[in-house]
Structure 1
Amino acid sequence: MEITTSPSTYQRATETASHIRSALPDVLQNPKVAIVCGSGLGGLAQTIDPTPKVELAYENIPNFPKSTVQGHEGKFVFGRLGPHQTPVALLVGRAHFYEGHTMDMVTFATRVCKLMGVEVIIVTNAAGGLNQNYAVGDIVCLNDHLNMAGLVGIHPLRGPNLDDFGVRFPPLSDAYDLDLRVRVHRAWKTLGLDKQKRRLHEGIYAFVAGPTYETRAECRMLRGFGADVVGMSTVPEIVVARHSGIRVLALSLVTNSAVLEAGPLGSDEALQSMTKAELDAHLGRGKANHEEVLEAGREAAKDMQALVKLIVSDLHEL
């Protein structure tokens, strides 16, 4: 049986890009850089010059998915950034697979960015730290990923290939642009961030579907596979960006440390005299929660904003 879509993703993305362009002044028509702002990182939109600046709510953009997650405002922001007035597009909030969106919709904004002329996409996210050398508040420049959902068939390129965007079997061994990663480390030192407590790492991101945080056993498995951080976004966008020929830079903010140690056994003699409240507190040590994620994002926002702003300024020659 032939698989078809109606209308096609390309047609819908073209319609959306045309609608957005109609709302933009000429100087913002073709943004060269797109920035995806993850949980708690929407403040990046404040780094854009105030004029000209256009904000479009996702709900008012045709075909666009709606973000329902706390900490994701759900708007497209267009403006110019840095001393070279680089035209940029910011996605303040994203659609997630766990919200019930299809992978096509999760990555739809990336397709629209391609049609608007974006050449580099900077993807940010909040992630759990699996690497025990990472501290809450550290920033990780991604250099590879484990697409756990994709390996079992939940893949953004599943189905007929979108030839208007890219080839059937795109390679991903070069997904994380080396030139852009070099620029990150250079910007980190230029800003003097290497002199403070917060650290910059390079590492591997494990993408899981969510929406639950991972169990202890799952965290140990992912760490054993080589993952340094884990989260519920980013990788589908990166896969589609590379399929579309967009260069990728991805930055994770470590907002909590995953619990890797095995849980306590009910047979442990030391636990026999504890009350239920004491047992709950003992089991819950290190448990992640979304408010913790947002708070860590608020604390690291200034450093992340300064880093992204300098990187974009460094890309003015595009």
Structure 2
Amino acid sequence: MKRILVTGGSGFLGSHLCERLLKEGNEVLCVDNLFTGRKSNIHHLLDNNNFEFLRHDITWPLYVEVDEVYNLACPASPVHYQFDPVQTTKTSVLGAINMLGLAKRLKIRILQASTSEVYGDPEVHPQPESYKGSVSTTGIRACYDEGKRCAETLFFDFHRQHGIEIKVMRIFNTYGPRMHPQDGRVVSNFIVQALKGEDITIYGNGQQTRSFCYVDDNIEGMYRLMNSRPDFTGPVNIGNPVEFTMLELAELIIEITGSSSKLIFLPLPQDDPMQRKPVIDLAKKELDWEPKVDLRTGLISTIAYFDNLLQSDHKV
């Protein structure tokens, strides 16, 4: 049995990871400052004797004894990370320094949940790990994009300078149950608007594309990366290479929900990337991983989650 630290553990991805690690027979220390994470995501785990929750902000040092670290802490949606951009950068940079310091002291393996945002608005499509990115250092998304890029730099410098075992995972658009209903992401926005019968807001002309990975596939990739051979550091793309336009996504959600929602078009936000699609050859080769859940199947369970959530809120 390992004792595993998950920062950001009460968030969307973190709570699913905590579940997976507990099922594998580990003790889990879930750390979160609850800025975007929610206790409701981990409520069902609190009675498990192998699960512990600690409210803490990783921009401050953390002194615990663990065997592995998954560093997921950071607001990940534009609405949340632009709310306090300085704190977002601090979480990525100071948080990485503090967690790497912990890993150095304990001589343990640490995984960084990085992001496809390190590629910015890509000039190469689809994006392989070798692509260096096209990122604005001064735009409204830079606090997240550049914060995550700097965190990757820190991970590799700690690896080279101190011999820390690192794993760096670049996460592409992921969706599923426990997404925050007000996170401003396209899947949650469209689903909530469709279920409420509101107009579905599409930014730009709807032809910009994304690839959507279901949360279970993401967590499987993350788990396999952490447990991969010691000399494989990444970075490695984890995402679904099947591409959809925003119009296709909206129409599919309207079809599944049976909604009467209409589509309306608004101006494209600053620095919003037009294309995003991973090359996953490295993940296939090193992790024997590729996504299994198609978009329709994943949306059905995600819509059911949001439908229950909205009904519960209405009853309250």
What TM-score comes out, normalization by structure 1 length? 0.32
Larger relative helix fraction = 2
What TM-score comes out, normalization by structure 2 length? 0.33
Larger radius of gyration: 1
Greater relative contact order (Cα 8 A, min sep 6): structure 1 or 2? 1
